[in-house]
Amino acid sequence: MRIGKLIATGVAVIASFTLCMNQLWAQAKTPKASTSMIDRGKYLVNLGGCNDCHSPKVMTPMGPMPDTNKLLSGHPANSNLPAYPDSILGTTPDKWLTITNAHLTAWRGPWGTSFARNLTPDKETGLGSWTLAMFIKAIRSGKDMGKGRDILPPMPWMALGQLTDQDLKSVYAYLQSLPPISNAVPDPVPPPGAPKK
């Protein structure tokens, strides 16, 4: 009976040790971003004007300003776009090339209508399910999730793709540090007359 207890205790100790080591190994493979990396990412996001398109706005005496309760949550899912005549848009000097909504989160031009993505770490509607590699590939390739549809104007992915790997890692770390906001941004809408896919 004593041998049975010793064996059971030994198995429990080994199992606990193995569990702890596996947890430590998982943490070592996915290190937490440093405060300085997150601060650098915040600096780059602010410098890059990401809030200009990816944050809903509130109207102030100074004009539209990012809604600090919804920073980088993308085009509001429940926001309807105002109607306008398609005849005002075009690529000739007598037309408007693009128009935008009051939040500056939806843009219409020759490519159709694009909506600013939710950049918060919400797993269902934001970047919470994205890996660092997916994020960098998306910014460098101009493809959603690094392999999907084209990232549409006005997103300046070609300019952002020139950032160093370290700067893109910092931007990613900052975005992952934000509070997740559930906001399912609509898919892009093709221009009128575009062939169906």
- Is the model's pLDDT at 131 over the cut of 90? yes
- Is the model's pLDDT at 85 over the cut of 90? no
Helix pair angle (165-177, 35-47), 10° resolution: 100
- Is the model's pLDDT at 49 over the cut of 50? yes
Choose among 159, 179, 165, 158: nearest CA to 37: 165
* pLDDT tens-place string over residues 55-74: 999 999 999 999 999 999 99
Cβ atoms within 10 Å of 40's Cβ, excluding its own: 19
Hey, what are 74's tokens?
């993308």
Q: How far apart are CA 65 and CA 71, in angstroms?
A: 10
Q: How far apart are CA 177 and CA 2, in angstroms?
A: 52
Residue 157 CA, distance from chain mean position:
13
| Contact status, residue 89 vs residue 142, Cβ threshold 8 Å | no
What is the predicted pLDDT for the residue at 32? 79
- Is the model's pLDDT at 94 over the cut of 60? yes
What is the predicted pLDDT for the residue at 195? 73
What is the predicted pLDDT for the residue at 2? 60
End-to-end Cα, the chain, rounded Å = 71
Banded pLDDT at 140 (limits 50, 70, 90): very high
What is the predicted pLDDT for the residue at 197? 64
Choose among 109, 88, 89: nearest CA to 154: 109
